[in-house]
Amino acid sequence: MGEAANVFNLSDKKYDCNGNGCGVVVESRRPCCWYEEEIYDDLRWSFALNSILHTGTSEFQDIALLDTKHFGKALIIDGKMQSAEMDEFIYHECLVHPALLYHSNPKTVFIMGGGEGSTAREILKHRTIEKVVMCDIDEEVVDFCRRYLVANREAFNNRKLHLVINDARAELEKTQEKFDVIVGDLADPVEGGPCYLLYTQCFYQNILKPKLNHKGIFVTQAGPAGVLTHKEVFSSIYNTLKNVFKYVKAYTAHVPSFADTWGWVMASDEPFELDAEKMDIGIGERIKGELLYLDGESFISSTTMNKSVYQSLLKETHVYTEENARFIYGHGRACLP
């Protein structure tokens, strides 16, 4: 009985009757250790655990790596699941590849947040990439992920990756560099939350956009985009970016471990011109290895919302500004990615 043996993995245990052939399940023990997340105050989600692999705390956040039965290894920050082994490829392929493929020749990328390393990992699959700046506020989280997330280890060690520990807003303000693509891999713009200021029209206009090269593309995760949830932040992010960039493209995908459909928004002053076929060619030529979730056809289809969400995007008038938030600049964790 080694330590690897697993008392919790019992849900399929069966005892057969002895030789009388009835063969029914007499006992089926239930898992007894669970990770529980409050998705909302009135909605919870629980995953049976194999083990609690690693835990830690940082100046800003608490962090854990859990081994769940259903979704594999899961990274938890401040009690919210960030990504799960079984389906993180959906989120990260969607966040990274469309923007890089729509760009004709992306060489430099700036990641706001992304300390987990998976976003960098996907970016570094592109043969054209020469430099990736990953700017995360939380050094301990970055160290934790570098140490424990085996799938991202190679990316963390890639020489093209430049890690900066700083507030992404402050870093973009002070940097002299411009980038082909900027990727927003931050917490949602909850008013008073840590990342609100990185989603405002003012930030996009005055701080972010000037740091994009000509024909540069900005892409950001844009929160839940389900039929019941897309008005929380998705439609506002979309609308805010429409006020700053000439061309904006929203798309969505269901991420099982997020218990919702998720949204992303790309924005640029160049039009997004690429059909499914050309995107497939780009994937084949420019990306090392196989993608698991995205291909040309499915990406195009993911930019068509259902009627309910589409109508909301059309009608949305809310714009994130520093004024309309009940937020006090410079206070607490609010400006930190």
Cα→Cα distances 71→258, 260, 291, Å? 11, 15, 19
Residue 290: DSSP 8-state? -
Cα→Cα distances 280→102, 251, 294, 333, Å? 12, 17, 9, 41
Which one, 10 or 164, has the nearer CB to a second copy?
Answer: 10
Q: At its nearest, how many Å lie between a second copy and the CB of residue 86?
A: 6
Q: At its nearest, how many Å lie between a second copy and the CB of residue 19?
A: 11
Comparing CA positions, the residue from 316, 222, 307, 313 lying closest to residue 263 is 222
Q: At its nearest, how many Å lie between a second copy and the CB of residue 237?
A: 19
Which one, 210 or 256, has the nearer CB to a second copy?
Answer: 256
Comparing CA positions, the residue from 163, 129, 133, 130 lying closest to residue 145 is 163
- CA dist., res. 1 & res. 219, Å (int): 50
Which one, 27 or 214, has the nearer CB to a second copy?
Answer: 27
Q: At its nearest, how many Å lie between a second copy and the CB of residue 88?
A: 11
Please name the residues in contact with 203: beta carbons below 8 A apart, sequence gap of 6 or more. 169, 197
Which one, 40 or 329, has the nearer CB to a second copy?
Answer: 40
Q: At its nearest, how many Å lie between a second copy and the CB of residue 105?
A: 24
185 a catalytic residue: yes
Which one, 52 or 151, has the nearer CB to a second copy?
Answer: 52
Cα→Cα distances 259→78, 224, 294, Å? 18, 9, 20
Please name the residues in contact with 247: beta carbons below 8 A apart, sequence gap of 6 or more. 267, 268, 269, 270, 271, 272
Which one, 58 or 268, has the nearer CB to a second copy?
Answer: 58
Residue 240 backbone dihedrals phi, psi, to 5 degrees: -65, -45
Q: At its nearest, how many Å lie between a second copy and the CB of residue 161?
A: 21
The number of angstroms, rounded, from the C-alpha of 196 to the middle of its chain's C-alpha atoms is 16
Q: At its nearest, how many Å lie between a second copy and the CB of residue 107?
A: 26
Packing angle, helices 88-102 and 276-286, rounded to 10: 100
Q: Which of 136, 185, 260, 280 is catalytic?
A: 185
Element at 179 (helix H, strand E): strand 179-185
Which one, 273 or 290, has the nearer CB to a second copy?
Answer: 290
Element at 32 (helix H, strand E): none
In 128-163, which positions are buried (b, 16+ CB within 10 angstroms) versus exposed (e)? ebeebbbbbbbebbbbbbbebbeebeebbeeebbeb
Residues labelled catalytic: 185
